[in-house]
Amino acid sequence: MKAKDVMTPIDEYLSPDMPICEAVIRMRNVKRQHGLPIKGMLVKNEQGAVVGMVSIKDIMRAVIPSYLSPDLSIFSWENMLEDMTNKVKDRVVGDIMVKDVVTIDSEVPLMVCTDLMIKKGLQRLPVTDEKKEVIGMVYIRDIYNIIADFLTEGEKEDGTC
């Protein structure tokens, strides 16, 4: 099995100058085959080149900087999340996107995809064609589902293997 056999074609992208609030709306509206919104999208510039990726974690990091700790008793945490969210509402995708996007060729075996995702802690992996253009995305959930199917192939009626 290869990356192209598991990938989901993608045709929706974010732009670096798009406000974060618009990126959130777009991410909510783009659904995968299971009907749930996606958790990350590629970012393309005006020339159509992939320049980054934004995930829900990147958006959360923008709202809640890592230097803040809930242990700081001097803060009043009441309404703080809402206040901080309002402060980043007009920031743009280019400010928070991951710029070093790891991609994989469509002909690469799924084992290589899996290994790369585990080693780099990736949830999604853009798939490229022979021209190095992104044509799809392999999601860790889809690889897990394939593994789960193999693991439960001999499942009995009582729920054991």
Walk along the chain (161 residues) and give the pLDDT tens digit of each residue: 999 999 999 989 999 999 999 999 999 999 887 888 889 999 999 999 999 999 999 998 888 766 555 555 555 556 777 888 888 888 999 999 999 999 999 999 999 999 999 999 999 999 999 999 999 999 999 999 999 999 998 777 777 77
Helix (H, G, I), strand (E, B) or coil at 42: strand
Give residue 35's pLDDT. 81
The CA distance from 10 to 133, in Å, is 12
d(CA 75, CA 87): 17
| Burial readout 135-159 (b: 16 or more C-beta within 10 A, e: otherwise) | bbbbbbebbeeeeeeeeeeeeeeee
pTM here is: 0.81
Closest alpha carbon to 32 in 137, 103, 115: 137
Tell me which residue has tokens 């199917």.
149
Task: Read off the tokens for 37.
Answer: 């919104």
Q: Give me the pLDDT at residue 161, please.
A: 72
The C-alpha atoms of residue 136 and residue 152 are separated, in whole angstroms, by: 28
Give every CB contact of residue 20 below 8 A, 6+ residues apart in sequence.
59, 62, 88, 89, 90, 91, 92, 93, 95, 96
CATH architecture label of 3-151: Roll (3.10)
